[in-house]
A and B are shown apart, each in its own frame.
Chain A
Amino acid sequence: MKKIFSAFLFLLLTLALAVPGLAKSKIIRIGFNIPLTGEIPKVGESSKYAAEMLKADINGKGGLQVGSEKYLLEFIYEDNESKAESAVAVAQKLIDRNKVLAIIGPNSSKQAVPAGEIADMNQTPMISPWSTNPDTTKDRPWVFRAAFLDPFQGPVAVDFAMEQFKAHKAAVLYALANDYSKGLAEIFKNDWEKKNGKGSVVAFESYGDKDQDFSAQLTTIIAAKPDFIFLPNNYNEVALIVKQAHDLGWKGPFMGSDAWGSAELMTLCGKDCIGQYFSTHYAAAGATGATKEFIDRYQAKYGYVPDDVAALTWDATRLVLQAIQDAGKLTGNVRKDRKAIRDAMANIKSFAGITGNMKFDDQGDPIKCAVVVRINDKGEFVFTKSVCP
């Protein structure tokens, strides 16, 4: 028994030391630091699917053309379990062990902020598709993101609601423990009160992690008689909130944010969500060109319309590949190549992504347009308005 045990320990240790991948030429290795388990497995799955599709595309054509040579892509997906410490360990593993040229992810800010620190410290380019926390990229030359920031999105929602609903009084229901939701709610509130006077946000309510019942908050909100309700929440919670609000007799409109933009929203929410508006990165219905092609192919392959995470991961990965191509050639020296990729990424003049045209500002945040979409009777997200910075 003792012997077996010590043998087992020894085995574990040797395994731990013997895993590093062997560097081979003609391969571009990119790491994905994504949540495949934990709180938001769907986000990880979308990221992975979009990346797989892109990889199949490029490898199907014989690889990525860099300078005069073709390189095959190798994507390494690591699960960060939606935990901060795992995201750090994964980032370190991808950088040190797998010698990746760049990291895509993590998606939520809770992991992207600490993992960004690791990437920046180790001089590895990282791009977070989805994180909206300013800290992720702030003062970190090696870290980029593909999503627009809350300080831009909040006023978009305010202006649109004032114009569309002729609203003067707003109510907000946000997720307290979700930094995305909370941040956006606060920005919205400040901006709304600046434009409509103090006290014009008549109810500012929150709920906790994994809550399913919102009736008390909604009762308070409805009693305050707002002109509309702003819901900067994840789509699964939105579906519950909208239904419960209707059960409590609410008949007014809702306004949402980019976290609504999931294919699952309509399966989960059904007819309750029809007619509502939200701001997002792209409008799936009525999309044209590359965006439509991406949506159709994704849907054919995985059976559902891609959500914003999938679209943003696609763009983020393509940004990295674009930067690799712009860098001109790969030397095989990981450190030098990473530096070249980072510089090329920061210098991208204009990138035509499926979530809109973008380029990076000096903080590594994208400058791109937001669109407001309406959910039509067929449950499609129809383009209503575009707002550019």
Chain B
Amino acid sequence: MKQKLAVPVLLFALLAVVMTLVQFEVIDLYIQTIILFIGINIIISSSLNLVNGHMGEFSCGHAGFIAVGAYVSSVLSVALFAQDRIFGAPLLPPQYTVYAFPVILVIGGLAAAFAGLLVALPSFRTRGDYLAIITIAANYIIITVIINIDKIGGARGFMGMKRVVFAMEDTAAIPWMVLWVFLFTILSIIAIRRFVSSTYGKGIIAIQQDEVAAEIMSVNTNKMKLIAFMLSSGLAGIAGGLYAHVIGYVNPKSFDILKSTEALVMVYLGGMGSITGSILSAVLFTLLLELLRPLQIIKWIVIPLLLIILMQFRPEGIMGNRELVDIFPKLKKFYRFK
């Protein structure tokens, strides 16, 4: 009993505490924004870790899928719920936002998952650094397509999502974005964790170890790759949808190759194939970026330097491929990790 409930209770308590703090304005909007960014970055890094860590591929175009999710969910939510000069009057009354928003996010995720096919299909035949190029190219292609669609703003970007968030808050005055980011972060982590620790999902770890051997041991490698890529890009799409609604504005340039490299850094900082590592590194990286802001230009020398030094001491990232329970075995009492 203790074993089963500990983590859910803990998470629920954390959510309750954060929500109350935000609700009664104990923590200001700045801290709130950072908390939201942390949640989004956790989804981004752990979803990329699925492909780069667990499966051992080198995908460097994650931002492309974030962009797809961000745009699809933004366009949907604005078209459905906000007065907009492109889509005209809202199609649904604002009370429905609360129910429709998670659905919209999931649709954005699905769209991103399909964009993931762009990478998944070539991955059947090629891997390693050749696949890396395909992912970079996919990132460029997605950005160029968005820039060329004037309907959704092109290079000017797309906005109006804040109105949808306000509509939710008008329906019930609680910090909805905190709730959604929290829920979707937890759901993504559960999804990834259950996937990689299931017998079925172990196939992708087999691919990482030795693709040919995995194939011989009756792992359907093509199918596993397809699922892993689509799951990873789908979750990235959900992160994109959340990002778009937190910022209230999306611009194709926000999802260029630099965003992808940020995701890469988070994955390898945390450790390949470690979910807790990804979470930890997303938290650390986001906080570090905010805290060092006063250093201005020097910040972007200090952060890479810190990372290089860290790599020298821990050449396998913070956690390596271990999880938290491997380091603190006592935690097993509360929760069975694998």
Using CB atoms and an 8 Å cutoff, list the residues of chain A in contact with chain B. 2, 9, 12-13, 15-17, 36-37, 41, 77-79, 81, 83-86, 88-90, 92-93, 95-97, 109-110, 113-114, 117, 121-122, 133, 135, 176-179, 182-183, 209
B291 interface residue per 8 A CB criterion = yes
Going nearest first, the 7 A-B pairs with the smallest beta carbon separation are A114-B249, A96-B28, A96-B30, A92-B30, A179-B156, A179-B155, A79-B296
Separation of A13 and B248 alpha carbons in the complex (Å): 27
Chain A hits for B296, CB < 8 A:
36-37, 77, 79
B287 interface residue per 8 A CB criterion = yes
B159 interface residue per 8 A CB criterion = yes
**Interface 1/0 per residue, B136-151 and A, CB below 8 Å:** 0000000000010000
B297 touches A37 (CB 8 A): yes
Sample 13 A-B pairs with CB under 8 A, ordered by A number. A37-B296, A83-B254, A84-B251, A85-B254, A89-B34, A92-B28, A96-B30, A109-B157, A110-B251, A113-B159, A114-B249, A179-B251, A182-B154
B159 touches A41 (CB 8 A): no
B31 interface residue per 8 A CB criterion = yes
Separation of A77 and B256 alpha carbons in the complex (Å): 26
Separation of A17 and B287 alpha carbons in the complex (Å): 11
Separation of A79 and B298 alpha carbons in the complex (Å): 11
B101 interface residue per 8 A CB criterion = no
A177 touches B159 (CB 8 A): no
| Distance from B252 Cβ to chain A, minimum over Cβ atoms (Å) | 7
A16 touches B31 (CB 8 A): yes
Known contacts A36-B296, A85-B243, A177-B252; A182/B291 CB under 8 A? no
B247 touches A88 (CB 8 A): yes
Chain A hits for B33, CB < 8 A:
88-89, 92
Chain A hits for B31, CB < 8 A:
16-17, 96
Known contacts A16-B290, A79-B297, A83-B254; A110/B157 CB under 8 A? yes
Separation of A81 and B299 alpha carbons in the complex (Å): 10
Chain B hits for A121, CB < 8 A:
162
Known contacts A85-B37, A133-B156, A135-B159; A96/B29 CB under 8 A? yes
| With A2-B327, A16-B34 already in contact, 14 other A-B pairs whose C-beta atoms are closer than 8 Å | A12-B287, A16-B287, A36-B296, A36-B297, A37-B299, A79-B293, A85-B37, A88-B247, A89-B33, A89-B37, A96-B29, A113-B157, A177-B147, A183-B156
| Distance from B137 Cβ to chain A, minimum over Cβ atoms (Å) | 14
B28, B34, B253 — most chain A CB neighbours (10 Å): B253
A117 touches B248 (CB 8 A): yes
Separation of A184 and B281 alpha carbons in the complex (Å): 42
A85, A96, A183 — most chain B CB neighbours (10 Å): A85
Chain B hits for A81, CB < 8 A:
300
Chain A hits for B250, CB < 8 A:
84
Separation of A354 and B70 alpha carbons in the complex (Å): 41
- For window 121-172 of B, CB contacts with A under 8 Å fall at 147, 154-157, 159, 162
**Interface 1/0 per residue, B19-39 and A, CB below 8 Å:** 000000000111101100100
B253 touches A110 (CB 8 A): yes
| Distance from A195 Cβ to chain B, minimum over Cβ atoms (Å) | 23
Known contacts A84-B249, A113-B157; A122/B29 CB under 8 A? yes
B247 touches A85 (CB 8 A): yes
| Distance from A193 Cβ to chain B, minimum over Cβ atoms (Å) | 17
Chain B hits for A96, CB < 8 A:
28-31
Nearest CB in chain B to that of A79: its residue? B296
Separation of A240 and B33 alpha carbons in the complex (Å): 40
